[in-house]
Amino acid sequence: MLKLENINKKTRLEELNEDDLNDYYYWKYLDPLQEAKNWNGPYIEEKHFTFTEFEKNYRESKYLYKNTLSTLAIKYEDDFLGVVTSYWKDEKSRWLECGIVIYKNTKWEKGLGSQVFKEWINYLFKETDANRIGISTWSGNIRMMKVANKAGMIEEARIRKGRVVEGEFHDGIQMGILREEWKSF
C-alpha cells in the first residue's frame, strides 16, 4: 500500500482501502449537507452511482500508469478527510488534470489543503512523465486558486462567464504548472 508520509506529523496521503472507499462514497453521494459541493465543481451535474458502480469505476481508473495511482485518500490522524485525484486530459501532450476535495469542513481553512496539494503535485511529477499539471475551477472558488498558486500553478486562462453556479455566471479558471517550473519551484 502506498503512503506519502510527513506532509505534517498528522496528515498523509495513501492508497484508498475498503473503509476509505466507503467513506469516499458517503461524502460524495450520501452526505446530506454536501458542503464540499458548494466549492468543488458546483457547476457539474454529476450522475449518481450505486456503490457497486462507484467501486467498479474506481477500480477501472485506479492507475495512471501500472504503479502510479490516480487517486489517494487524505488522512488526518487515520481519519478520512477527502481525496486527491488526477486524470489524463491529453496523454499525447502529457497533460494531467488534478484536484483535491476535503469533505470534512472542520478541517477547512487550516492549511492542510495547501500542504497535501503540494505533495500531490510532487508525486504526480515524480511518478509520471507529465509535461504539465493543471486544475480547472470557477472564480468563486478562491480557496482552490490559492492552494494551486501555493503549489506553483499560475492562472493560464479565464473563460469569462463560463460557469453557472446557483443561476449566476462566474468565470471558468484554468491554472497549471509545467515540469520545468516545478523543478525550479
| Rounded distance between C-alpha atoms, residue 8 and residue 76, angstroms | 9
Helix (H) and strand (E) counts in the chain = 5, 10
The conformation of residue 7, written as its DSSP 8-state character, comes to S
Q: Which residues of the chain have pLDDT under 50?
A: 1
Domains annotated for the chain, with CATH where assigned, are 3-183 (3.40.630.30)
- Give the pLDDT of residue 7: 62
Task: Give the span between the Cα atoms of 13 and 112, in whole angstroms.
Answer: 11
Beta bridge partners of 169: 164
pLDDT of residue 50: 97
User: Collapsing DSSP states into helix, strand and coil, what is residue 107?
Assistant: helix
User: Of 120, 72, 64, nearest to 89 (Cα)?
Assistant: 64
Provide the pLDDT for residue 3: 58
pLDDT, residue 2, reads 57
pLDDT attached to residue 177: 98
What per-residue confidence (pLDDT) applies to 174?
A: 98
pLDDT of residue 6: 54
